[in-house]
Amino acid sequence: MVSELGILEHSNQGEAARSLDVRDRRLLEGVVAGNRDSIIKLYNLYFPRLFSFLYRLSRDYCLTEELVNDVMLVVWQDAEKFRGSSKVSTWIFGIGYRQCLKRLSKRRLPQVDRQKAHEPHFDSCGIVELDDVLESALDELSPKHRMMIESVLYLGMTYREVAEIAGCPVNTAKTRVHNARKQLRAALVRMGYVHGASSDG
Amino acid sequence: MYTEQAVTDEHYKESVELCELLPWYVNRTLDDEQLRAVEQHLQHCKVCAEDLPVLRAVRESMHNEPVAVLLPKPDAEQFLADAGGREQRPRLRRTVWISFAAAASVAVMALTMTWFLTHDSEDPPTLYETATNAGGGTAFDYVLHIAFDADSDPQAHDEVLNALAPLSVGGPDSFGNYRVVIRLPARSVDELQNFTRDIESNSSVSSAAIVAVELPVESR
């Protein structure tokens, strides 16, 4: 059931992604040719996704606005540098990934208050909200690890695409995501979200 | 959510390749063969089986996060304006600017080299060009101090002084010195030294020196 659904979705997703990439490539060609409408369309298409991705990484609204424009400026300036070996979206998010890492490395990240991070919000019924728990755990990851997780689970990138944006071999990308996953898991365990320890212990 | 026993690296060491593929199983970007392999792997890998709902929850949570509420409206026009060009790509603009700057630099260098290679001794030196430009004039009033030999012929003094076509002549003072103002195009220091040397070559002149250079009043 899962498999059938998975394969079906995978197939449809692949086709949709290819179709979107064809559209993006045409727009990028337009940008190279100096077509103003092409960069406007590309900007409008990528703004929401880039903003969400970069905001999730930086947690800084103003910085994210700057970053999105910086990324699109690079796209505009260096459109002819796109080699075509990856999807346009991968190329653009790769630029965003590197720009964001560069900016974050120049300043201290907003420090996560670990005490607070371990105290997720409670709703009126006193039930821990899962999103808060997960968010707190994600906040404990290093920017690089967080980007790995975001790239895969939020942006839905393939491992080849993750390798492309991170500028590393595919196996390294897999290992990095794996390490990020382990850190996420460790953070959740530290936060006390462990069930059945005694029964399995 | 997790069993504590499962939180070890031992499980990750087994079938590590399939373990590593789990995040992509969750985002459904694996090919059919990989999908089936991971599904089989999930049946006996406790860690991955426990991670699976967590990763799915993370994925869902990420997409549920109300970033969209914060999302500003894309303003491509503003972006283009901020980027500095509404009609052209910045790279093109920059290229044009760099080309222009490079061409201008080359031209300036070429002109400078040409000037150094071809200028003759009458060209004004930088010092005087600056003064000339500052004043807007092309000539200066040079104040000459000329001393004649005491026993020289006074007529010879007049010839020397008249040859200079002076604007004014003061003197002689009690020592027989004259203060002569002449107007000349801007001259270099070497040229002025040659000029005074020529005056001194007259047998009646004991010394000649320029003691001041002034911009003509009308040029100031």
CA-nearest of B172, B189, B181 to B143 is B181
Give the domain range for residue B130.
Answer: 126-219
**Neighboring chain B residues of A40 at a CB cutoff of 8 Å:** 76-77, 80
Answer yes or no: is B73 within a domain.
Answer: no
List, as ranges, residues 53-72 from B with C-beta within 8 Å of A. Answer: 54-55, 57-59, 61-65, 67-68, 70-72
Q: What is the pLDDT of residue A6?
A: 44
3-class DSSP state of B75: coil
Last residue of a domain, one of B18, B38, B64: B64
Q: What is the pLDDT of residue B128?
A: 39
Task: Indicate if B130 and B54 belong to the same structural domain.
Answer: no
Please measure the distance between the N-terminal and C-terminal CA atoms of chain B and give it in whole angstroms: 90
Section A18-29 average pLDDT = 86
Question: B145, B177 in Cβ contact below 8 A?
Answer: yes
Task: Indicate if B130 and B210 belong to the same structural domain.
Answer: yes
Q: What is the pLDDT of residue B94?
A: 52
Q: What is the pLDDT of residue B90?
A: 54
Report the distance separating Cα B19 and Cα B31, nearest Å.
15
Last residue of a domain, one of B64, B84, B101: B64
Answer yes or no: is B32 within a domain.
Answer: yes
Last residue of a domain, one of B43, B64, B85: B64
Partner-chain contact B32 A43, CB within 8 Å: no
Q: How many CB atoms lie within 10 A of CB B206?
A: 15
Q: What is the pLDDT of residue B69?
A: 52
Report the distance separating Cα A177 and Cα A180, nearest Å.
5
Answer yes or no: is B72 within a domain.
Answer: no
Q: Model confidence over B131-174: pLDDT tens digits?
A: 343 344 567 778 888 888 877 888 888 888 888 888 888 777 76
The structure tokens 């997790």 sit at B2
Domain count, chain B: 2
In terms of C-beta density within 10 A (0-12 exposed, 13-18 middle, 19 or more buried), how is residue B67 classed? middle
Provide block-wise average pLDDT over 10 residues at a time, chain B (220 residues).
51 72 91 90 88 88 65 79 61 56 79 70 44 51 81 82 83 75 79 84 84 62
Question: A90, A161 in Cβ contact below 8 A?
Answer: yes
Q: Model confidence over A128-184: pLDDT tens digits?
A: 566 777 888 888 888 888 888 988 988 888 898 888 888 889 999 999 999 999 988
Q: What is the pLDDT of residue A19?
A: 76
Please report which confidence band the pLDDT of residue A58 belongs to, taking 50, 70 and 90 as the band edges: confident
Answer yes or no: is B87 within a domain.
Answer: no
Q: Which residues pair with A128 in a beta bridge?
A: A122
Answer yes or no: is B109 within a domain.
Answer: no
Query: Tokens in use for B150?
Result: 């005491």
Report the distance separating Cα B78 and Cα A68, nearest Å.
13
Can you give the CATH number for the domain in which B154 is found?
Answer: 3.30.70.60
Query: Tokens in use for A88?
Result: 């346009």
Number of helical (H) and strand (E) elements in chain B, helices listed first: 10, 4
All domains in chain A, ordered by first residue = 1-109 (1.10.1740.10), 111-194 (1.10.10.10)
**Neighboring chain A residues of B68 at a CB cutoff of 8 Å:** 48, 52
**Neighboring chain A residues of B40 at a CB cutoff of 8 Å:** none
Report the distance separating Cα A41 and Cα A47, nearest Å.
10
Q: Do strands B168-170 and B139-148 pair parallel, antiparallel, or not at all (unpaired)? A: unpaired
Task: Indicate the residue of A10, A40, A178 with minimum beta-carbon distance to B35.
Answer: A10
Partner-chain contact A184 B6, CB within 8 Å: no
Residue B93, chain A, CB below 8 Å: the answer is no
**Is pLDDT larger for residue B9 or for residue A121?**
B9
Q: Model confidence over A60-74: pLDDT tens digits?
A: 888 888 899 999 999
Q: What is the pLDDT of residue B166?
A: 84
CA B37 to chain centre: 62
Angle between helices B46-64 and B16-26 (to 10 degrees): 30
CA A23 to chain centre: 22
Complete DSSP assignment for B161-189: HHHT--SEEE---TTSEEEEEEEEE---H
Complete DSSP assignment for A156-196: ---HHHHHHHHTS-HHHHHHHHHHHHHHHHHHHHHTT---S
Residue B37, chain A, CB below 8 Å: the answer is no
Partner-chain contact A200 B39, CB within 8 Å: no
Answer yes or no: is B183 within a domain.
Answer: yes
CA-nearest of B2, B192, B42 to A197 is B2
Assess: ipTM above 0.90. no
Q: What is the pLDDT of residue A139?
A: 82
Answer yes or no: is B104 within a domain.
Answer: no
